[in-house]
Amino acid sequence: MKRLAFLFNFIITYGFLACNDVTKPNLSQIKNEQKFDGNTIKATNKMHSGITEAEKFDCKSLKDKKVILEFANSIIAKKDNKNIWNISEIDTNEFFTCEDYFTNSKKKNRLVLIGGNAGLSAGSEDNLLILFSCIDSLNILWSGQVGEFDLSDIKDLNGDGIKDIICESSMVWMGECNYHFDIFNFKNAKQNFIFESQSTSVLDCGWDNIPQIYKRGDTIEIDNECSLIKLNNGEFNVRQIRTIKIHNGGQTEKEFLRNLKVIVDTNTIYLK
């Protein structure tokens, strides 16, 4: 379970990535003044030669750090989002953006993931995710506080044409390590979890005298090691190896660790 404490201290520095077009927008041509009306952003652009009205709400402008910073700060400042609990600020040096089929298999949306700072209880769930629609106007479909993922974690896992996101997070709180392995998507513009797994442990997580704090029969650790299995049809299942460690006596730490009762089982989970 040492990987839980390791994951908590592991920091990912995001590069600036894009799925389709990595060309940076010409900021000398477009200057955005964003006005928020609920979740809809009405953009007033100072148009210059070569920029047409049809490009006014182009999602490619969301690759500009200045634009992203204004959106993110406005979302955090409103303090009415149930999906955000303790992000205090964001850092546009740690973000990536990707345009893909996130809500349906017909039209693309743009996703932005931005690193941030949050309270200790959030652990590595200190990133802000924003999903945009840019069909007629620039519209925020969903925003919230999430763990860590990158482009390699965005896949269509069940063959429905909609991209799923594999997201991991970890935290240490009150002498307990927690690690989450989740898979979700935004089908129909809502966050839908298609797989969730949580591992917990009190080993190497801050407590001293564990043999005395816990009694025989108490569960000390549940470690769910999850991996994806690719099927012949191109879809994926999740293989979960669960290891459970149970207090089985011992006065000293050495005796306690030697006597732990260990139960291991493996399951394969079909992703709907």
Dihedral sign, CA of 170, 178, 222, 265? negative
pLDDT at 58: 63
Number of DSSP helices (H) and strands (E) in the chain, helices first = 4, 13
User: How deeply is 220 buried, as exposed, middle or buried, from its count of CB atoms within 10 A (0-12, 13-18, 19+)?
Assistant: buried
pLDDT of residue 142 exceeding 70, the answer is yes
Q: What is the pLDDT of residue 116?
A: 87
Q: Cβ contacts of residue 265 below 8 Å, gap of 6+? A: 241, 242
What would the pLDDT profile of 67-103 be if each residue is shown by its tens digit? 888 889 999 998 889 999 888 888 878 888 999 999 9
Q: What is the DSSP letter of 152?
A: G
pTM equals 0.78
Highest mean pLDDT among 75-84, 171-180, 256-265 belongs to 256-265
Reported as a single tens digit per residue, the pLDDT across 209-249 is 898 899 999 999 999 999 999 999 999 999 999 999 999 99
pLDDT band at 8 (very low <50, low <70, confident <90, very high): very low
Residues with Cβ within 8 Å of 152's Cβ and at least 6 positions away in sequence, in order, are: none
* Strongest mean pLDDT among 41-45, 87-91, 202-206, 254-258: 254-258
> What sign does the CA torsion over 94, 127, 124, 174 have?
positive
Per-residue DSSP letter, 24: P
Residue whose entry in the numeric block shows the structure tokens 């569960």: 219
